[in-house]
Amino acid sequence: MNLNFLKYFKNFRIPLAFIWSLIGGLSLVLFSWVSPVFAAGSKVPAFSAGNTAWVLASTALVLIMTPGLGFYYGGMVRRKNVLNTISLSFITICTVSVIWILWGYSLAFGPDAFSGLIGSFKYVGLFAMKETQHSRYDGTIPSYIYVMFQLMFAIITVALISGSLVERIKFSSWVVFTIVWLTVVYAPVAQAVWGIGGIFQKMGALDFAGGTVVHINSGVAGLAGALVLGKRKGYMKENIVQPNQLGYTILGGALLWFGWFGFNAGSALEASPLAASAFLVTNTATAAAAIGWMIAEWINSGKPTTLGMVSGAVAGLVAITPASGFVNPIDSIIIGFVAGIICYSMVVFVKPKFGYDDALDAFNVHATGGAWGALATGLFADPLINPAGRGLFYGNPGQMWIQLLTVVSVAAYSFTMSYIIFKVIDKVMGLRVTKETEAIGLDITQHEEAGYNF
């Protein structure tokens, strides 16, 4: 071996190391400059595992609300109608689930097709949507999850209407109504209030989880149906309120309370401080409303009832729904407590005075509580909770006018269209069971089953 060569290499050891370091540094600089150029054409936003998991869980929570509603309603009717009442909620899960995929979601949340009032047919059958597609409404979750989350809202909204109609509506007519109403009423209202480019959404209406879309919409539709159907046999002339099992109602109310955390906190569409805030105020307002109803009933009738307490809790859940992502805990107590008193007054004083047979008070609790909640959002929206909302008491009186216009518009549209739908179904196939069927009970006559075999 040439020792002189080794000696030459040894003498240049440091310069060679310097050269290799220089080459390595230049390579890193070049890579950092070139890599974004290649990545720009193929970069896809990453899904958030936490947000995806939270909305998945929230979707399941909202689903349990509809069977819970079935128990809540089912416990309050007479024993001869308990299964039929529960079945109205259960079949709604089935019909709405199918229609939502076929065309419901596209009309409610597809690209705007007509002045912010209805979605397009782009997502009919979800053929144009892939499982890896990011949601238009939150880019950190897959579109399929958002479709499912909003499906649960559509289901519970339709099911709520049945509370005004129980003990006298034909089961077949109810099935047809759910399909038509979802298409003609729910989808346009959802697009107008929540859809990207929706007319009320562009105006700045605040409805975090459905005060207008869900509760005013369903409650007013229930009133329209009750007026078309007419009163139950013997209504206001005999004690028609003979709950078959208040335990069912308490169980149903508890399931609604439980599922409502997904309803409200899930509407943040992310596992975030906003979701935590919505979770907190939902529970607080619900408790305050139960207390408000209990106190009002105690003063008026001398005793608090379990039915009154659970009804008050539901009134609080309804009222805090639109405000849940905008208000602080103290304001949520006010919203809930007032909701309990207002809804109790509607049930005990207003309904008997006007004589409409809103059987299980879908209108009195949901439309009234939803309207109060929507207006209260315009009062109490706190920008420290959510910068997207600022109410009257936080320096923005204009928000109240937007809330009022939204409430009145949704109520007017829902009542008018629902009344027409009920009338048409009545003309085409009949809406109400016969007097004989009503006297026997709908469990036997509509399903050939009995809720109790003893």
Q: Tens digit of pLDDT for each residue in 7-31?
A: 443 444 445 444 444 444 444 433 3
Q: How does residue 236 score in pLDDT terms, banded at 50, 70 and 90? A: low
Q: How many domains does the chain have?
A: 1
Is 295 part of any domain? yes
pLDDT in the model for residue 317:
98
What's the pLDDT at 454?
A: 74
Please check whether residue 384 lies inside any domain of the structure: yes
Q: What is the 3-state secondary structure (H, E, C) of the chain?
A: CCHHHHHHHHHCHHHHHHHHHHHHHHHHHHHHHHHHHHHHCCCCCCCCHHHHHHHHHHHHHHHHHHHHHHHHHHCCCCHHHHHHHHHHHHHHHHHHHHHHHHHHHHHHHCCECCCCCCECCCCHHHCCCCCCCECCCCCCCEHHHHHHHHHHHHHHHHHHHHHHCCCCECHHHHHHHHHHHHHHHHHHHHHHHHCCCCHHHHHCCCCCCCHHHHHHHHHHHHHHHHHHHCCCCCCCCCCCCCCCCHHHHHHHHHHHHHHHHHHHHHHHCCCCHHHHHHHHHHHHHHHHHHHHHHHHHHHHHCCCCHHHHHHHHHHHHHHHCCCCCCCCHHHHHHHHHHHHHHHHHHHHHHHHHHCCCCCCCHHHHHHHHHHHHHHHHHHHCCCCCCCCCCCHHHCCCHHHHHHHHHHHHHHHHHHHHHHHHHHHHHHHHCCECCHHHHHHCHHHHHHCCCCCCC
Q: pLDDT higher for 236 or 265?
A: 265
Residues in CB range of 238: below 8 A, 6 or more apart = none
The yes-or-no verdict on residue 91 having pLDDT over 70 is yes
pLDDT in tens, 213-224: 999 999 999 999
pLDDT value of residue 3: 46
Whether the CB-CB separation of 307 and 356 falls below 8 Å is answered with no
pLDDT exceeds 60 at position 93: yes
Q: Which residues pair with 323 in a beta bridge?
A: none
**pTM surpassing 0.75?**
yes
**143-157 burial code (b ≥16 CB/10 A, e <16):** bebbbbbbbbbbbbb
Which amino acid is residue 174, in one-letter code? W
Question: Which value, in Å, is the radius of gyration of the alpha carbons in the chain?
Answer: 28
Assess if residue 421 is contained within a domain: yes
Structural domain contains residue 28: no
For residue 87, tell me if it sits in a domain.
yes
Residue 418 predicted with pLDDT over 70: yes
Angle 306-320/368-380 helices, nearest 10 degrees? 50
Band (pLDDT 50/70/90 cuts) for residue 41 is very low
CA dist., res. 342 & res. 356, Å (int) = 18
State the average pLDDT for the chain: 91
Range scoring the smallest mean pLDDT among 1-15, 170-184, 231-245, 291-305: 1-15
The tokens describing 399, both together, are: 């928000």
**Domain span at residue 318?**
55-447
pLDDT tens for each residue of 59-90:
999 999 999 999 999 999 999 999 999 999 99
Average pLDDT over residues 142-169: 97
Tokens 């308490």 found at:
250
Domain assignment present for residue 24? The answer is no
Domain membership of residue 123 (yes or no) is: yes
How far are the Cα atoms of 26, 40, 343 from residue 30, in angstroms, in the given order?
A: 6, 16, 69
Q: Can you tell me the mean pLDDT for 168-173?
A: 98
Residue range 321-333: average pLDDT? Answer: 98
Q: Is the pLDDT of residue 322 over 90?
A: yes
> Does 297 fall in a domain?
yes
CA atoms of 30 and 111, how far apart (whole Å): 42
Question: What is the predicted pLDDT for the residue at 26?
Answer: 44
Residue 125: partners with Cβ closer than 8 Å, 6 or more residues away: 101, 102, 103
Q: Report the pLDDT averaged over residues 323-350.
A: 98
Confidence of residue 239 (pLDDT cuts 50, 70, 90): low
- Residue 435's pLDDT is what? 94
Cα separation, 363 vs 343, in Å, equals 10
- pLDDT of 142 over the 60 cut: yes
Report the CATH number that the domain containing residue 307 is assigned in CATH: 1.10.3430.10
111-115, 206-210, 271-275, 393-397, range with the lowest pLDDT: 111-115
Rounded to whole angstroms, the Cα distance separating 184 from 420 reads 11
CA–CA distance, 312 with 364 (Å, rounded to integer): 12
| Average pLDDT, integer, range 379-394 | 97
- The pLDDT of residue 280 is above 90: yes
pLDDT of 22 reads 46
What whole-number distance in Å separates Cα of residue 313 and Cα of residue 256? Answer: 9
User: 113 burial class (0-12, 13-18, 19+ CB within 10 angstroms)?
Assistant: middle
pLDDT, residue 45, reads 66
